[in-house]
Structure 1
């Protein structure tokens, strides 16, 4: 008996692809993925500065990062489905338009409330990843699809690294935090122009959009991510933290029942339950967890004053960005094409497995060898490479097992899993560092700084995240057919 899933698995090989295609499509989609990664990461190093310049507490300023993530969880699956049904070009331009409005609000506002509102609108940019992958599947010739998707997906790592560097440069010497949002304005305007020129006007594949399901899923994900991101401030045993976790479980269960009974579901649960799709999504969450263990742990570690703590390098924000983060960011530029070639020649599963093994080695090095700058930088470069290549392999894994009309939604779920993993990683690292803080006396007054063992724990947990992703690649995914 032939099931929908059997047809979906065979669909990519049966796809003929366009007879001609614009050579701007791949650069445009990679640039859009870069933009969403830039917007996600650019505020992280600047949160203390924003709090200082707006005279607000660390708890309140944390919503500058949280608001974007919450919007992303709500709109990403909806945008993916809208692109499949009505055409990707139209939905990409809408997502970019919302992102531009949010960037302008954040750039022009002078209060924390206005800034949070702007960041919430910027969350629309997260929908660009599944839309970009869907565009590449439908616009590139079959022989170029896997390579193209790997290049676009690798822009996630490059965008995050670039954001850390850019923030360090733009905010040095207590520079105005508005500068980082003017950067996102300029980048978004460029993406709108490039996307409008590169993308052909094509109709979608048709079908219906389950708007009720989108609302329910968004509510469930917001109920999950809100306590994950704020639990370290509210308290993990606080009533609202536990209540929201329970609410998320109930709502997401209700979403599953709703989708099972729907004739036009937002997400086909049978596709998500497929062994390879499930393993890829779980691997995305574990790599997302490891990514934030690296970025947050390393950023704070290198800025620790060694004279006080006995560890760290006393780096300024600018030195952190240029000396420690920039090398890995620059390496991510050629890694996309290289990873794409390996995916085509050796299969996405092997590429994912190899990248996670590199990630394990890098986190082991960060845990054990962090007394000297050079060894720390080498480990960071390896970790950046692992993250970029791992995410480069995942869209190709998904496309092998979902039908063309489900490409956007399937990659939306993968993107959500990455967001959930990153949110959990961020919360765990912050909780570990805050929980070990010791007070040191300085000429400027007392300063609370984490212990060295807390950073080691964070790096070890990042290594465990890579290890779990490696196990999924080795045993959860079926062997490549190459």
Structure 2
């Protein structure tokens, strides 16, 4: 299965059936990605792990996505998006099958790592769309693909509980994987070949390894610090290790002839602000993503609701729908109002919602409404940033730019999830091991404050552009 470039075929305009095929695949991938969210409390009980350790189940997928996405985008630019996409789907399918047969946490994490390759499908889809559609049409198409990827969360949210409770949690991974295999066959048949761009540049595998090490060290460091009661010296050593890995990655990327992530793009004010805003917005959204299912599952005799996996899925469903709608709206909003205005509106909504939720979280409808508002706000803002930036650069840079934004988006969600897991683990009762209500209050307030940072970034970046 060599990926050596072949002669560029004549350009073929992407038709509706091909876009629909990409959308169906995105829907199946979104389903596989989202089954963990409502079932995470169940997985923690079944596997006997803490909230911080449970956060690793979802983050294993996100970490892989963060390091694979830039490579996938570059391979797609060089060898053709369709060709690379099909190969990545083989890896995702293997990961889904492995997770579906996992007997313990380490094997499940390995399966999630392989599934994380699915995040690389997004920039590959953008490459295909951008090569065959106009800039205006690309904005809409990107929004549609993202909407269906997010829409898969609706399906995953609904089916996770019934499958886990009537069959087993293994089935949550097996059934969506079968759908991915089938939809990949459809994409292979309908999507036209896209012309590759010949290049002798090598893949920056050193950058891939260092970024993977940095993210994993940070995630595992949070788990260790909050769960093991380490002395200050050990905590400092972990911090030094993370900083050293991050510094090494930046140094490698700056010197590499063909860097994994072209950090020179960050020198452009618009690109720098888009990345920082995406990171801040998704970190806040990731915190909400983790905190709400945990609060729904908390015992009803205290401050929680004692909800099972199916009920948690129903509580999260309106938010999943709002997220799907927001992604389709984001591309249109970016073209009409500009990404900056969309980000400000989304930030105000998210900040206000989280600060309010820190005080009012005694009724299920309050949490459901908060999920709807934050999912819509974050989805519209990040999609507007992605679509606006992707169509503002040259066609040849689309893969690099979208990969950089998608990897930032993934890192943000992963950071938010792991930070929330660390907050709950730090606030757990030493007898029951369950997080106390103050831990949730701290988590919601922190998520609101993180979101508010976006307003400062918008103001600073605006002054920078004027200067």
TM-score range, shorter chain: 0.7 to 0.9
- Residue 191 (structure 1) aligned to one of 178, 183, 189: 183
The whole-number CA distance in structure 1 between the counterparts of 2:65 and 2:14 is 30
Q: Give the drift of 1:180.
A: 0.5
Q: Judging changes above 3 Å, is the alpha-carbon distance between structure 1 residues 43 and 125 closer, same or farther for their aligned structure 2 residues?
A: same
The whole-number CA distance in structure 2 between the counterparts of 1:246 and 1:41 is 34
Tell whether the 8 Å contact from 1:235 to 1:241 is kept in structure 2 after alignment: no
Tell whether the 8 Å contact from 1:82 to 1:209 is kept in structure 2 after alignment: no
Residue in 2 that maps onto 1:120: 113
Q: CA RMSD in A?
A: 3.2
- Residue 288 (structure 2) aligned to one of 274, 278, 294: 294
Residue in 2 that maps onto 1:352: 343
- Residue 274 (structure 1) aligned to one of 262, 268, 278: 268
Residue in 2 that maps onto 1:171: 164
Tell whether the 8 Å contact from 2:146 to 2:328 is kept in structure 1 after alignment: no
Q: Give the drift of 1:145.
A: 1.4
- Residue 330 (structure 2) aligned to one of 318, 323, 339: 339
The whole-number CA distance in structure 2 between the counterparts of 1:447 and 1:206 is 59
Matched position secondary structure for 2:193: coil
Residue in 1 that maps onto 2:441: 456
Q: Give the drift of 1:321.
A: 1.2
Matched position secondary structure for 2:16: coil
Matched position secondary structure for 1:210: coil
What does residue range 323-338 of structure 1 map to in structure 2 within 5 Å? Answer: 324-338=315-329
Q: Judging changes above 3 Å, is the alpha-carbon distance between structure 1 residues 235 and 28 closer, same or farther for their aligned structure 2 residues?
A: farther
Q: Judging changes above 3 Å, is the alpha-carbon distance between structure 1 residues 259 and 371 closer, same or farther for their aligned structure 2 residues?
A: closer
Tell me the TM-score normalized by structure 1.
0.83
Q: Judging changes above 3 Å, is the alpha-carbon distance between structure 1 residues 389 and 231 closer, same or farther for their aligned structure 2 residues?
A: farther
The whole-number CA distance in structure 2 between the counterparts of 1:163 and 1:302 is 18
Q: Judging changes above 3 Å, is the alpha-carbon distance between structure 1 residues 243 and 273 closer, same or farther for their aligned structure 2 residues?
A: farther
> Are residues 1:312 and 2:297 paired?
no
Residue in 1 that maps onto 2:144: 151
Residue in 2 that maps onto 1:104: 97
Q: Give the drift of 1:215.
A: 3.8
Tell me the TM-score normalized by structure 2.
0.85
Q: Please list the CA deviations of residues 408-445 of structure 1 after superposition, one character each: whole Å capped at 9, or x if unmatched.
A: 23222222222322222222222222332347xxxxxx
Residue in 2 that maps onto 1:3: none
Tell whether the 8 Å contact from 1:76 to 1:416 is kept in structure 2 after alignment: yes
Q: Give the drift of 1:91.
A: 0.9
- Residue 84 (structure 1) aligned to one of 48, 70, 77: 77
Structure 1: gaps (5+ residues): 1-17, 440-445
Tell whether the 8 Å contact from 1:130 to 1:415 is kept in structure 2 after alignment: yes
Residue in 1 that maps onto 2:453: 468
Q: Give the drift of 1:101.
A: 1.2
Residue in 2 that maps onto 1:361: 352
Q: Please list the CA deviations of residues 246-302 of structure 1 after superposition, one character each: whole Å capped at 9, or x if unmatched.
A: 344334433433343344333332212322212111222222221222122111222
Tell whether the 8 Å contact from 2:95 to 2:111 is kept in structure 1 after alignment: yes
- Residue 370 (structure 1) aligned to one of 353, 357, 361: 361
> Are residues 1:182 and 2:161 paired?
no
Tell whether the 8 Å contact from 1:85 to 1:209 is kept in structure 2 after alignment: no
Q: Judging changes above 3 Å, is the alpha-carbon distance between structure 1 residues 463 and 125 closer, same or farther for their aligned structure 2 residues?
A: same
- Residue 124 (structure 2) aligned to one of 118, 131, 150: 131
Structure 2: gaps (5+ residues): 1-10
Q: Please list the CA deviations of residues 161-198 of structure 1 after superposition, one character each: whole Å capped at 9, or x if unmatched.
A: 5433332232236x411110113312312331232134
Matched position secondary structure for 1:131: helix
The whole-number CA distance in structure 2 between the counterparts of 1:361 and 1:149 is 29
Q: Judging changes above 3 Å, is the alpha-carbon distance between structure 1 residues 66 and 341 closer, same or farther for their aligned structure 2 residues?
A: closer
Q: Judging changes above 3 Å, is the alpha-carbon distance between structure 1 residues 386 and 217 closer, same or farther for their aligned structure 2 residues?
A: same
Q: Give the drift of 1:313.
A: 2.8
Residue in 2 that maps onto 1:6: none
What does residue range 227-238 of structure 1 map to in structure 2 within 5 Å? Answer: 227-228=221-222, 231-234=225-228
- Residue 397 (structure 1) aligned to one of 388, 408, 430: 388
Q: Give the drift of 1:130.
A: 2.0
